[in-house]
Amino acid sequence: MTPMEWIALAEQGFELFMKIRNSAKSAGVTDEQLDAITLDYDQRIARRQADADVRGSADH
């Protein structure tokens, strides 16, 4: 990757990061919002764990 391509990519990444950060900025993050995030993590972990275990179960 050329330096110019890397810079263009980093800019795209930074724009996405700023979008995310701006959406996260608020008067304050409540316990309820953190609980909702934990719940989302649980669902994602379960989905990924199932995919990560595919090879393990096939090997046995």
Partner 1 sequence: MRTRRSLAPILAALFLFAACATTQVQKARIVSVDVHAVLAAVDDAEMTLCNKQADNTCKSSVPAWTTEKHVEFSKHLVVALKAGRALNEGVKAVPITGQTKADLTAVSAELEAVTGLVKDILPPNSTVVIALTAAKDAVLRLLPLFLEGA
Q: What b/e string do you get for 7-32 counting C-beta neighbours within 10 Å, with b at 16 or more?
A: eeeeeeeeeeeeeeeeeeeeeeeeee
Calculate the CA dihedral of residues 16, 23, 46, 38 and round it to 10 degrees: 140
Under rule CB under 8 A, residue 51 binds partner 1: yes
Taking CB under 8 A as the rule, does residue 60 contact partner 1?
no
CB of 23 to partner 1, least distance (A): 7
Give residues in contact with partner 1 (CB under 8 A). Answer: 1, 5, 9-10, 12-14, 16-17, 20-21, 23-25, 28-29, 31, 33-34, 37-38, 40-42, 44-45, 47-49, 51-52, 54-55
